[in-house]
Structure 1
């Protein structure tokens, strides 16, 4: 059972917070958080529903984590285990395919990779660094389960501003170089993630041009040999 207490910071003020596995009692609030975290033009049908959340806590509860601030749910992260080989066909996939439309029936108990299906934080809590804490909590799961990596495809919501000037691959390279910043990709870089490649038609996402940046965190305790 994952349970971590820490202090988030609201400016200079320490705020008590907890990251724990979410349960069925949290479902209604988690769905509300999704609607707040992903407003239009993000498709409302991609918000979690109760059936999906039930699968999360049943199939892989270790990857279903929520953060509380002063007793209020402030965000969540959800993952599943898959088998992934960087040189294989796994680079070319959609969110729908890899997560079974969010139902994570594609979860493989013997998988080598923890794949992030979703990360969201309530807008009013986004200055507290909770997203980074949630991602780092999944790093703990990767290490505890002796997996090779954490993997996930990040939206590139700033890409639509540059799409007429450059392909998605160059946009990602410019963000990594620091020439451009992106609200999601720059955040993931700060979380320790590194790019694997660009995935086309990953998600119906107008701002990202349906592209996503596949990014990983490699388990430093697993041999590369």
Structure 2
């Protein structure tokens, strides 16, 4: 019956999921709980529909090949499966990437022996050529290696498979389809006991690839940060506040900075006009300026050719008040971020509510994360952002006392070490005698680094003078992070015991 059945090769659709799930469970007989969720399949189809291929026989999913596009120059050949995926949101996928990365291929056991896998591989190759991408790359399991591990190194095992002295159901198939072994990776897929957690990094090169002409280098490796240590003072009106903002944007952009970072609730001086109201009413009055400020920042970002991280501002969403900020890119686009963890004072005085989005953001200087003050004291957020590919973490903060500042500083330094990234913090100084709950400020803005030979011995790239209005201009080298990830004295990211613990992002079900 199978011989006479119609075989259809096409792109996968979200509505195929139930049939796909059946096929996955049958195919992953050794790992029955490791199939893709419907949410993950939906994300893949939405992000890269051409790359999700399936073979259908008699309305059944007989086989499937899933893939993403990555900018492989941002990775190295010793990556792990988890790091290349970029989490359940596949944050590493980039339409401007140069390589198709295969993340899964499987054939339903009932349809094996029909050369369906070859059809999927050939379709991937055609797609690679059509999109003018450099290569197809993926990490391949070597499931028969466990039988020979006591007598053969992975290298010797691969050589024998190439000579057809040993048959490996995965590697033998990949070699027969014109893929070559680029490298052996240790610890590629946690829990793959059949392969002893080794994998072969397989590659197929597109001989028709034509390198695009890059007139402008899009992603920078040396990035200049401008941090504003903002003086809290009473302003005559809104226009006076905006004039002070523009002064700093102008000054920092004159030094060709890529980013400027403002502190948390830097616009609090405008709350003086609401001081006769209750604290919840006053913060709601301040929130009326947020949309206007966003428009102003977006205009400045374009006019001064600089990416602006606006610190934070209150924003009313329905009945609730949130502490939010915006990343205003110099191309005119923008993103919104939220303070996830609200301090007891924010909750009791202003009725603030914690946000629900943990995200990283693409920029022309790579992926960045942004956390507002208290958030940096919770290491889980930074680790999730790190797994999404974050290289720079920006922390706008506001602390009234030196011990409050010390909490932010110490935790920010820890985040830099444990996530092997740069962390920039910017706060406010001075006082606001006519604004309740905002009397005094203490800050020392700084840029922190990992602590290894390529970085300052104390992990501090630069610090501003404490409690004085100023700017801090700092150059950071993103290539040093890539080197650290692989050749550091210690490797905090690689050496995590994922066999003992994992960290997963949950989707919050909102009731409002």
TM-score grouping bracket, smaller chain normalisation? 0.7 to 0.9
Per-residue CA distance 1:20-67 (angstroms, 9 max, x = gap): 111111011112211110112x362x3100110011101111111110
Q: TM-score, normalised by structure 2?
A: 0.39
- The DSSP-based 3-state class of the residue aligned with 2:6 is strand
Within-5 A mapping of 1:1-225: 13=3, 15-40=5-30, 42=31, 44=33, 46-85=34-73, 90-101=76-87, 103-203=89-189, 204-222=191-209
Larger radius of gyration: 2
SS at match of 2:72: coil
Greater Cα offset, 68-77 or 48-57: 68-77
* Segment drifting more, 149-158 vs 171-180: 171-180
Q: Distance in 1 between matches of 2:133 and 2:40?
A: 24
Check the 8 A contact 1:117/1:152 in 2, yes or no.
yes
Note the C-alpha offset of 1:105: 2.2
The answer to whether the Cα contact below 8 Å between 1:48 and 1:102 also exists between their aligned partners in 2 is: no
Deviation at 1:74, TM superposition (A): 0.6
Structure 1 segments, 4+ long, off by >3 Å, are none
SS at match of 1:143: helix
8 A Cα contact 1:102 1:117, kept in partner: no
Tell me how far apart the structure 2 counterparts of residues 84 and 24 of structure 1 sit (CA, whole Å): 27
For structure 2, list consecutive stretches of 5 or more residues without a partner in the other structure: 212-512
User: 1: CA distance between counterparts of 2:89 and 2:173?
Assistant: 26
Shift of 1:103: 4.0
**1:176 & 1:154 partners in 2: Cα distance?**
14
Going from structure 1 to structure 2, the CA distance change for 1:102 and 1:181 (only over 3 Å counts) comes to farther
Per the TM alignment, residue 160 of structure 1 is displaced from its structure 2 partner at its CA by 0.3
Distance 1:210 1:83, change over 3 A: same
Structure 1 unaligned spans of 5+: 1-9
Cα contact 2:19–2:60 (8 A) shared by 1: no
Matched residue pairs, number?
A: 210
Does the CA contact (< 8 Å) of 1:96 and 1:102 recur in 2? no
Give the Cα separation in 1 of the matches to 2:26 and 2:32. 12
Asked if the contact 1:53–1:103 (Cα under 8 Å) also holds between the matched residues in 2, the reply is: no
Partner Cα separation in structure 2 for residue 206 and residue 100 of structure 1: 23
Structure 1 residues 53-88: Cα deviation after superposition (integer angstroms, max 9, x where no partner): 011101111111110123322111000011225xx8
Bigger RCO (CA 8 Å, 6+ sep): 1
Aligned to 2:295: none
User: 1:98 is paired with a residue of what secondary structure?
Assistant: helix
- The range that moved more, 146-155 or 167-176, is 167-176
Q: C-alpha deviations, 1:145-194, integer Å up to 9, x for none?
A: 00011111111001001100122122112212322221100001111111
Q: Is the 8 A contact 2:145 2:196 kept in 1?
A: yes
The alpha-carbon deviation at position 223 of structure 1 amounts to 5.5
Question: Residue 151 of structure 1 aligns to a residue in which SS?
Answer: strand
Q: CA deviation at 1:93?
A: 1.1
SS at match of 1:31: helix
